[in-house]
Homo-oligomer: A and B are copies of this chain.
Protein backbone atom coordinates (compact mmCIF):
# COMPACT_ATOMS: atom_id res chain seq x y z
CA UNK A 1 0.00 0.00 0.00
CA UNK A 2 2.81 2.43 0.84
CA UNK A 3 4.44 1.75 -2.53
CA UNK A 4 1.12 2.35 -4.24
CA UNK A 5 0.84 5.84 -2.83
CA UNK A 6 4.46 6.68 -3.59
CA UNK A 7 6.18 6.73 -0.18
CA UNK A 8 9.93 6.04 -0.47
CA UNK A 9 12.45 5.79 2.36
CA UNK A 10 15.23 8.38 1.92
CA UNK A 11 18.31 9.61 3.82
CA UNK A 12 18.81 12.82 5.75
CA UNK A 13 16.74 12.46 8.93
CA UNK A 14 15.62 15.79 10.32
CA UNK A 15 17.42 17.60 7.45
CA UNK A 16 15.84 15.52 4.66
CA UNK A 17 13.35 18.30 3.95
CA UNK A 18 14.40 21.39 1.96
CA UNK A 19 14.93 24.48 4.07
CA UNK A 20 16.15 22.64 7.18
CA UNK A 21 19.72 22.88 8.53
CA UNK A 22 21.23 21.48 11.69
CA UNK A 23 24.45 21.45 13.71
CA UNK A 24 25.77 19.86 16.89
CA UNK A 25 28.47 20.54 19.49
CA UNK A 26 29.89 19.23 22.75
CA UNK A 27 29.17 22.01 25.23
CA UNK A 28 30.26 19.99 28.26
CA UNK A 29 26.84 19.40 29.84
CA UNK A 30 27.38 15.63 29.79
CA UNK A 31 30.22 14.28 31.90
CA UNK A 32 30.93 11.76 29.13
CA UNK A 33 32.21 14.44 26.74
CA UNK A 34 29.76 13.38 24.05
CA UNK A 35 27.82 15.85 21.87
CA UNK A 36 25.11 17.46 23.97
CA UNK A 37 23.66 20.41 22.06
CA UNK A 38 22.04 20.75 18.65
CA UNK A 39 20.36 23.53 16.72
CA UNK A 40 17.73 22.91 14.00
CA UNK A 41 17.09 25.95 11.80
CA UNK A 42 14.30 26.66 9.34
CA UNK A 43 14.75 29.04 6.36
CA UNK A 44 12.28 30.41 5.69
CA UNK A 45 10.83 30.17 9.20
CA UNK A 46 8.47 27.21 9.50
CA UNK A 47 4.89 26.67 10.48
CA UNK A 48 4.79 24.22 13.34
CA UNK A 49 2.74 22.12 15.75
CA UNK A 50 3.67 20.39 19.00
CA UNK A 51 2.46 17.57 21.22
CA UNK A 52 3.76 17.41 24.79
CA UNK A 53 3.78 15.34 27.95
CA UNK A 54 0.47 15.43 29.83
CA UNK A 55 2.46 15.23 33.06
CA UNK A 56 1.41 18.13 35.31
CA UNK A 57 5.00 18.31 36.50
CA UNK A 58 6.65 19.55 33.33
CA UNK A 59 10.00 21.04 32.54
CA UNK A 60 10.57 24.74 31.82
CA UNK A 61 11.34 24.19 28.09
CA UNK A 62 8.03 22.32 27.64
CA UNK A 63 6.13 25.28 29.05
CA UNK A 64 8.03 27.53 26.67
CA UNK A 65 7.24 25.29 23.65
CA UNK A 66 3.56 25.29 24.59
CA UNK A 67 3.59 29.10 24.57
CA UNK A 68 5.34 29.51 21.22
CA UNK A 69 4.95 26.53 18.87
CA UNK A 70 1.96 26.95 16.54
CA UNK A 71 1.53 30.61 17.48
CA UNK A 72 3.60 32.06 14.63
CA UNK A 73 6.85 31.54 12.71
CA UNK A 74 9.39 29.05 14.07
CA UNK A 75 12.98 29.92 13.18
CA UNK A 76 14.94 27.36 15.22
CA UNK A 77 14.81 24.64 17.87
CA UNK A 78 17.67 24.35 20.37
CA UNK A 79 18.01 20.99 22.13
CA UNK A 80 20.36 19.94 24.90
CA UNK A 81 20.94 16.52 26.43
CA UNK A 82 22.49 15.78 29.85
CA UNK A 83 20.20 18.07 31.87
CA UNK A 84 16.38 18.11 31.82
CA UNK A 85 15.86 21.59 33.30
CA UNK A 86 12.91 20.08 35.22
CA UNK A 87 12.00 20.72 38.87
CA UNK A 88 14.24 23.76 38.67
CA UNK A 89 11.63 26.38 39.63
CA UNK A 90 11.69 29.96 38.34
CA UNK A 91 15.44 29.86 37.66
CA UNK A 92 14.89 27.05 35.15
CA UNK A 93 12.36 29.10 33.23
CA UNK A 94 14.68 32.12 33.21
CA UNK A 95 17.49 29.91 31.86
CA UNK A 96 15.32 28.64 29.01
CA UNK A 97 14.28 32.18 28.11
CA UNK A 98 17.87 33.40 28.19
CA UNK A 99 19.07 30.63 25.85
CA UNK A 100 16.30 31.34 23.33
CA UNK A 101 17.13 35.06 23.47
CA UNK A 102 20.80 34.35 22.82
CA UNK A 103 19.97 32.15 19.82
CA UNK A 104 17.58 34.79 18.46
CA UNK A 105 20.30 37.44 18.69
CA UNK A 106 22.66 35.28 16.61
CA UNK A 107 20.00 34.40 14.00
CA UNK A 108 18.74 38.00 13.99
CA UNK A 109 15.11 37.09 14.59
CA UNK A 110 12.48 37.64 17.28
CA UNK A 111 12.98 35.77 20.53
CA UNK A 112 9.49 34.24 20.14
CA UNK A 113 10.66 32.42 16.98
CA UNK A 114 13.03 30.21 19.02
CA UNK A 115 12.10 27.25 21.25
CA UNK A 116 14.15 24.68 23.11
CA UNK A 117 14.01 21.19 24.63
CA UNK A 118 16.09 19.60 27.37
CA UNK A 119 16.62 15.98 28.40
CA UNK A 120 18.71 14.42 31.14
CA UNK A 121 19.07 14.79 34.88
CA UNK A 122 16.15 16.31 36.80
CA UNK A 123 16.51 18.94 39.50
CA UNK A 124 19.97 20.22 38.60
CA UNK A 125 20.44 23.81 37.37
CA UNK A 126 21.16 24.14 33.65
CA UNK A 127 24.87 25.02 33.06
CA UNK A 128 23.70 27.97 31.04
CA UNK A 129 27.03 29.83 30.66
CA UNK A 130 28.65 26.80 29.04
CA UNK A 131 25.65 26.51 26.78
CA UNK A 132 25.69 30.16 25.69
CA UNK A 133 29.38 29.81 24.94
CA UNK A 134 28.59 27.00 22.50
CA UNK A 135 25.99 28.94 20.49
CA UNK A 136 28.35 30.72 18.07
CA UNK A 137 29.72 27.41 16.84
CA UNK A 138 26.21 25.92 16.60
CA UNK A 139 25.11 28.80 14.38
CA UNK A 140 28.21 28.83 12.20
CA UNK A 141 28.09 25.05 11.65
CA UNK A 142 24.46 24.92 10.48
CA UNK A 143 24.24 22.70 7.41
CA UNK A 144 21.74 20.78 5.31
CA UNK A 145 23.85 17.68 6.03
CA UNK A 146 23.63 18.09 9.80
CA UNK A 147 20.85 15.54 10.44
CA UNK A 148 23.03 12.67 11.64
CA UNK A 149 25.09 14.87 14.00
CA UNK A 150 21.90 16.40 15.37
CA UNK A 151 20.35 12.96 16.04
CA UNK A 152 23.49 11.98 17.93
CA UNK A 153 23.47 15.11 20.11
CA UNK A 154 19.97 14.45 21.52
CA UNK A 155 20.89 10.95 22.73
CA UNK A 156 21.09 10.18 26.43
CA UNK A 157 21.49 6.42 26.98
CA UNK A 158 20.33 5.50 23.47
CA UNK A 159 22.88 3.16 21.92
CA UNK A 160 22.57 4.72 18.44
CA UNK A 161 20.99 7.76 16.74
CA UNK A 162 17.43 7.30 15.47
CA UNK A 163 16.46 8.89 12.16
CA UNK A 164 13.91 8.14 9.48
CA UNK A 165 12.76 10.02 6.39
CA UNK A 166 10.56 9.51 3.34
CA UNK A 167 9.72 11.23 0.10
CA UNK A 168 6.04 11.33 -0.78
CA UNK A 169 4.73 11.76 -4.30
CA UNK A 170 1.73 14.04 -4.20
CA UNK A 171 -0.49 15.02 -7.17
CA UNK A 172 1.33 18.38 -7.49
CA UNK A 173 4.90 17.19 -6.84
CA UNK A 174 7.19 15.45 -4.38
CA UNK A 175 7.67 16.47 -0.74
CA UNK A 176 10.10 15.26 1.89
CA UNK A 177 9.28 14.37 5.48
CA UNK A 178 11.97 13.31 7.95
CA UNK A 179 12.71 13.19 11.62
CA UNK A 180 14.76 12.06 14.55
CA UNK A 181 13.98 10.84 18.02
CA UNK A 182 15.54 9.73 21.28
CA UNK A 183 14.63 7.03 23.77
CA UNK A 184 11.36 6.71 25.62
CA UNK A 185 11.95 4.61 28.65
CA UNK A 186 14.79 3.41 30.80
CA UNK A 187 16.67 6.61 30.19
CA UNK A 188 19.04 6.87 33.11
CA UNK A 189 19.77 8.60 35.34
CA UNK A 190 16.40 10.10 35.97
CA UNK A 191 13.72 10.09 33.35
CA UNK A 192 12.32 8.33 30.36
CA UNK A 193 12.18 11.34 28.09
CA UNK A 194 11.02 10.96 24.53
CA UNK A 195 11.89 13.78 22.16
CA UNK A 196 11.04 13.78 18.45
CA UNK A 197 11.46 16.44 15.74
CA UNK A 198 9.86 15.95 12.34
CA UNK A 199 10.26 18.36 9.46
CA UNK A 200 8.81 18.67 5.95
CA UNK A 201 9.15 20.97 2.95
CA UNK A 202 5.44 20.60 2.13
CA UNK A 203 3.32 23.74 2.35
CA UNK A 204 0.85 22.89 5.14
CA UNK A 205 -1.41 25.32 7.05
CA UNK A 206 -0.80 25.47 10.80
CA UNK A 207 -4.22 24.06 11.80
CA UNK A 208 -3.77 21.03 9.53
CA UNK A 209 -0.26 20.44 10.90
CA UNK A 210 -1.72 20.36 14.43
CA UNK A 211 -4.48 17.87 13.50
CA UNK A 212 -2.09 15.63 11.59
CA UNK A 213 0.46 15.56 14.38
CA UNK A 214 -2.13 14.83 17.06
CA UNK A 215 -3.57 11.86 15.21
CA UNK A 216 -0.21 10.45 14.05
CA UNK A 217 1.20 10.72 17.59
CA UNK A 218 -1.85 9.01 19.11
CA UNK A 219 -1.23 5.94 16.97
CA UNK A 220 2.55 5.81 17.22
CA UNK A 221 4.51 7.50 20.02
CA UNK A 222 1.57 7.23 22.41
CA UNK A 223 1.19 3.49 21.72
CA UNK A 224 4.66 2.41 22.71
CA UNK A 225 5.46 1.69 26.30
CA UNK A 226 8.53 0.45 28.06
CA UNK A 227 7.81 1.25 31.67
CA UNK A 228 4.59 3.25 31.60
CA UNK A 229 6.22 6.24 33.25
CA UNK A 230 5.41 9.57 31.61
CA UNK A 231 8.29 12.01 31.43
CA UNK A 232 8.27 15.64 32.50
CA UNK A 233 9.91 16.57 29.19
CA UNK A 234 8.24 14.56 26.37
CA UNK A 235 7.98 16.69 23.25
CA UNK A 236 7.12 16.04 19.59
CA UNK A 237 7.38 18.95 17.14
CA UNK A 238 6.35 18.92 13.46
CA UNK A 239 7.65 21.84 11.37
CA UNK A 240 6.90 22.66 7.72
CA UNK A 241 9.12 25.00 5.70
CA UNK A 242 6.92 24.97 2.57
CA UNK A 243 10.07 25.19 0.39
CA UNK A 244 8.80 22.50 -2.03
CA UNK A 245 5.93 24.76 -2.98
CA UNK A 246 3.60 21.73 -2.90
CA UNK A 247 0.43 22.47 -0.98
CA UNK A 248 -1.13 19.96 1.44
CA UNK A 249 -4.56 21.21 2.33
CA UNK A 250 -7.04 18.40 1.59
CA UNK A 251 -8.07 15.59 -0.74
CA UNK A 252 -5.57 13.08 -2.11
CA UNK A 253 -2.54 15.20 -1.15
CA UNK A 254 -3.61 15.32 2.48
CA UNK A 255 -4.39 11.58 2.62
CA UNK A 256 -0.98 10.65 1.20
CA UNK A 257 0.87 13.11 3.40
CA UNK A 258 -0.94 11.76 6.43
CA UNK A 259 0.07 8.18 5.53
CA UNK A 260 3.66 9.32 5.16
CA UNK A 261 3.63 11.11 8.52
CA UNK A 262 2.16 8.04 10.21
CA UNK A 263 4.89 5.90 8.63
CA UNK A 264 7.66 8.22 9.89
CA UNK A 265 6.16 8.43 13.41
CA UNK A 266 5.65 4.65 13.66
CA UNK A 267 9.18 3.88 12.46
CA UNK A 268 10.67 6.38 14.92
CA UNK A 269 8.52 5.07 17.79
CA UNK A 270 9.48 1.45 17.11
CA UNK A 271 13.15 2.41 16.84
CA UNK A 272 12.90 3.68 20.42
CA UNK A 273 11.46 0.39 21.68
CA UNK A 274 14.03 -1.69 19.80
CA UNK A 275 16.82 0.33 21.39
CA UNK A 276 15.29 0.28 24.87
CA UNK A 277 17.93 -0.72 27.37
CA UNK A 278 17.68 -4.31 28.40
CA UNK A 279 15.02 -4.95 25.75
CA UNK A 280 15.14 -8.44 24.20
CA UNK A 281 11.56 -8.56 22.87
CA UNK A 282 9.31 -6.06 21.07
CA UNK A 283 5.73 -7.35 21.11
CA UNK A 284 2.65 -5.94 19.39
CA UNK A 285 -0.43 -6.11 21.64
CA UNK A 286 -3.64 -6.09 19.61
CA UNK A 287 -6.98 -5.85 21.36
CA UNK A 288 -10.05 -6.93 19.39
CA UNK A 289 -13.78 -7.27 20.14
CA UNK A 290 -13.79 -4.41 22.66
CA UNK A 291 -16.99 -2.54 23.45
CA UNK A 292 -15.63 0.75 22.09
CA UNK A 293 -12.39 2.43 21.00
CA UNK A 294 -11.68 3.89 24.45
CA UNK A 295 -12.00 0.52 26.15
CA UNK A 296 -9.89 -1.14 23.46
CA UNK A 297 -7.13 1.37 24.12
CA UNK A 298 -7.44 0.99 27.89
CA UNK A 299 -7.13 -2.78 27.66
CA UNK A 300 -4.17 -2.59 25.25
CA UNK A 301 -2.35 -0.18 27.53
CA UNK A 302 -3.07 -2.25 30.64
CA UNK A 303 -1.68 -5.42 29.04
CA UNK A 304 1.29 -3.53 27.58
CA UNK A 305 2.19 -2.08 30.99
CA UNK A 306 1.63 -5.17 33.16
CA UNK A 307 4.84 -6.10 34.95
CA UNK A 308 3.78 -9.74 35.04
CA UNK A 309 3.20 -9.73 31.27
CA UNK A 310 6.55 -8.02 30.68
CA UNK A 311 8.55 -10.43 32.84
CA UNK A 312 6.78 -13.34 31.10
CA UNK A 313 7.87 -11.93 27.72
CA UNK A 314 11.47 -11.83 28.96
CA UNK A 315 11.29 -15.39 30.26
CA UNK A 316 9.58 -16.67 27.09
CA UNK A 317 6.76 -17.93 29.30
CA UNK A 318 3.44 -19.31 28.08
CA UNK A 319 1.68 -17.91 31.18
CA UNK A 320 -1.20 -16.49 29.16
CA UNK A 321 -3.37 -15.99 32.25
CA UNK A 322 -1.40 -12.78 32.75
CA UNK A 323 -2.91 -11.30 29.54
CA UNK A 324 -6.43 -12.09 30.70
CA UNK A 325 -5.83 -10.67 34.16
CA UNK A 326 -4.36 -7.42 32.83
CA UNK A 327 -7.29 -6.92 30.44
CA UNK A 328 -9.68 -7.81 33.26
CA UNK A 329 -8.48 -5.04 35.57
CA UNK A 330 -8.11 -2.41 32.82
CA UNK A 331 -11.63 -1.05 33.17
CA UNK A 332 -12.65 -2.39 29.75
CA UNK A 333 -15.66 -4.69 29.66
CA UNK A 334 -14.88 -8.33 28.89
CA UNK A 335 -16.98 -11.48 28.49
CA UNK A 336 -14.94 -14.17 30.22
CA UNK A 337 -16.66 -16.97 28.35
CA UNK A 338 -16.01 -15.43 24.93
CA UNK A 339 -12.46 -14.17 25.41
CA UNK A 340 -9.78 -15.47 23.04
CA UNK A 341 -6.00 -15.27 22.68
CA UNK A 342 -3.64 -15.76 19.79
CA UNK A 343 0.15 -15.55 20.24
CA UNK A 344 1.96 -15.30 16.91
CA UNK A 345 0.04 -17.80 14.79
CA UNK A 346 -0.91 -20.08 17.70
CA UNK A 347 -4.53 -20.13 18.88
CA UNK A 348 -4.16 -20.46 22.65
CA UNK A 349 -7.60 -19.66 24.11
CA UNK A 350 -11.07 -19.65 22.56
CA UNK A 351 -14.41 -19.24 24.28
CA UNK A 352 -12.62 -18.47 27.54
CA UNK A 353 -10.89 -21.85 27.80
CA UNK A 354 -7.55 -23.22 26.56
CA UNK A 355 -7.47 -24.72 23.04
CA UNK A 356 -6.33 -28.35 23.40
CA UNK A 357 -2.71 -28.75 22.36
CA UNK A 358 -1.86 -25.04 22.57
CA UNK A 359 1.47 -25.74 24.28
CA UNK A 360 2.79 -27.59 21.24
CA UNK A 361 3.88 -24.83 18.91
CA UNK A 362 4.05 -21.88 21.30
CA UNK A 363 7.62 -22.32 22.54
CA UNK A 364 9.03 -21.48 19.10
CA UNK A 365 6.98 -18.25 18.85
CA UNK A 366 8.02 -17.09 22.32
CA UNK A 367 11.69 -17.23 21.30
CA UNK A 368 11.23 -14.74 18.44
CA UNK A 369 12.52 -11.20 19.03
CA UNK A 370 9.25 -9.70 17.74
CA UNK A 371 5.75 -11.15 17.60
CA UNK A 372 2.08 -10.22 17.99
CA UNK A 373 -0.39 -11.05 20.75
CA UNK A 374 -4.08 -10.75 19.78
CA UNK A 375 -6.53 -10.69 22.68
CA UNK A 376 -10.27 -10.80 21.95
CA UNK A 377 -12.48 -9.36 24.70
CA UNK A 378 -15.66 -10.97 23.34
CA UNK A 379 -17.98 -7.99 23.77
CA UNK A 380 -17.88 -5.77 20.66
CA UNK A 381 -16.00 -4.82 17.52
CA UNK A 382 -13.54 -2.09 18.54
CA UNK A 383 -9.79 -2.58 18.17
CA UNK A 384 -6.57 -1.03 19.43
CA UNK A 385 -2.86 -1.63 19.14
CA UNK A 386 0.11 -1.01 21.47
CA UNK A 387 3.69 -2.09 21.32
CA UNK A 388 5.52 -3.20 24.43
CA UNK A 389 8.83 -4.70 25.48
CA UNK A 390 10.00 -7.21 28.02
CA UNK A 391 11.51 -6.29 31.39
CA UNK A 392 14.93 -7.85 31.78
CA UNK A 393 17.66 -7.99 34.39
CA UNK A 394 19.33 -5.18 32.47
CA UNK A 395 16.26 -2.96 32.87
CA UNK A 396 16.61 -3.20 36.63
CA UNK A 397 20.39 -2.79 36.53
CA UNK A 398 20.30 0.31 34.33
CA UNK A 399 17.52 2.01 36.29
CA UNK A 400 18.98 1.17 39.70
CA UNK A 401 22.44 2.51 38.83
CA UNK A 402 23.18 6.16 39.24
CA UNK A 403 24.32 8.20 36.27
CA UNK A 404 25.08 5.23 34.05
Contact = CB atoms under 8 A, between A and B. Distances in A.
Interface of A: 53-58, 84, 86-91, 121-123, 189-192, 227-232, 306-308, 311-312, 314-315, 317-322, 324-329, 332-334, 336-337, 339, 349, 351-354, 391-393, 395-397, 399-402
B399 A329 contact: no
B229 A306 contact: yes
A334 B56 contact: yes
Contacts of A58: 328, 336
A147 to B, nearest CB: 30
11 contacts: A57-B329, A87-B349, A189-B317, A190-B319, A191-B308, A311-B399, A314-B396, A318-B402, A319-B402, A392-B396, A393-B396
Given A189-B319, A324-B87, A354 B123 contact: yes
A58 to B, nearest CB: 7
Contacts of A190: 319, 321-322
Given A232-B325, A321-B87, A402-B317, A396 B57 contact: no
Contacts of A319: 122, 189-190, 402
Given A189-B319, A227-B307, A311-B399, A339 B393 contact: no
B314 A400 contact: yes
Contacts of A333: 56
A315 B401 contact: yes
Number of copies of chain A assembled together: 2
A349 B89 CA distance: 11
Contacts of A402: 315, 317-319
Contact of A399 (B84, B308, B328): B308
Contact of A396 (B306, B311, B322): B311
A396 B400 contact: no
A191 B321 CA distance: 8
Contact of A351 (B89, B311, B351): B89
A321 B91 CA distance: 17
Contacts of A89: 337, 351-353
A283 to B, nearest CB: 14
Given A88-B353, A191-B321, A311-B396, 9 more contacts: A53-B329, A55-B325, A57-B336, A228-B306, A229-B308, A229-B322, A232-B325, A307-B391, A393-B396
